[in-house]
Structure 1
Amino acid sequence: MFGLEESRQYYVCQRYVRMNMGINGLSKIVSNELRRPLLNGDVFIFFGKNRQMVKLLCWDGDGFLLYQKRLEKGTFELPRFRPDQKAVEMSYRTLSAIMRGVSLRSVRYRRRLRIDNFAVSQIADYQ
């Protein structure tokens, strides 16, 4: 089903991408440059050079989904790129903040308990 949720893994391509690329071109970048598996449900995030457009590519079980957002005014604030890495994992909360226009420099997340899916299944099996 359509949707991006917190349970998925998100990876930002660490270089700007031509925004005229579609599913085929972006999936080649994921395979050849990022060296990540395409069909496991991860979401790959690509930004244009002028930072007014973003594309998100993910496998949805039986086909690819390509989300695109273009800002009519302003730009997306990006996390700092790491030149030594091809793709950097990003949290869903950070992606959500970027998409809403929240300044990443001013955001400070407070500590919270975080239990991954494996730990939840272990607790459920124990009870």
Structure 2
Amino acid sequence: MNSLSILVEQSMRLNPMDTSLYVFGNRRRDRIKILCWDGSGFWLMTKRLEASHFIWPDNKAEVVTMTSSVLHALLDGDDITTVRRHPKQEYLRVS
């Protein structure tokens, strides 16, 4: 827990005590750890797959931002690299 929070702070240059969830995967992609701060301490959640692996984004960036629905898809075993969302539309007026 301590080493992950230091990794977030020093390597990623992010605040481990904000409202974000920080998701880490191992090299074999059969384990995921999720680090979060609840205001009084850190939570560390771990999921280990027994017969499969998580399909991780092939993004070269160190930090990948995802929505909660994409995180749920990752934890459910879905291939999140193929998830395509509708583009966000922004309008200045309704009429």
Common fold: TM-score over 0.5: yes
- Contact kept, 8 Å, 1:98 with 1:104, in 2: the verdict is yes
The equivalent residue for 2:5 is: 27
Q: 1:91 aligns with which of 67, 73, 85?
A: 67
**One-letter amino acid matched to 1:39:** M
Unpaired runs of 5+ residues, structure 2, are: 91-95
The residue aligned with 2:18 is: 40
Query: Aligned residues: percent identity?
Result: 32
Q: Size of the alignment, in residue pairs?
A: 90
- C-alpha change, 1:61 and 1:72, in structure 2 (3 Å) is same
Q: Structure 2 length normalisation: TM-score?
A: 0.82
In 1, distance between residues paired with 2:89 and 2:47? 32
CA offset at residue 108 of structure 1? 3.0
1:52 equivalent in structure 2:
30
Residues 54 and 69 of structure 1 are in contact (CA less than 8 Å); yes or no, is this contact kept in structure 2? yes
When normalised by structure 1's length, the TM-score is 0.63
| CA drift at 1:111 | 5.4
Candidates 55, 76, 84, aligned match of 1:100? 76
CA shift at 1:57, angstroms? 0.2
Highest relative contact order (Cα 8 Å, sep 6+), 1 or 2?
A: 1
Q: How does 1:101-116 map to 2 (within 5 A)?
A: 101-110=77-86
Given that residues 45 and 56 in structure 1 are in contact (C-alpha distance below 8 angstroms), is that contact kept between their aligned partners in structure 2? Answer: yes
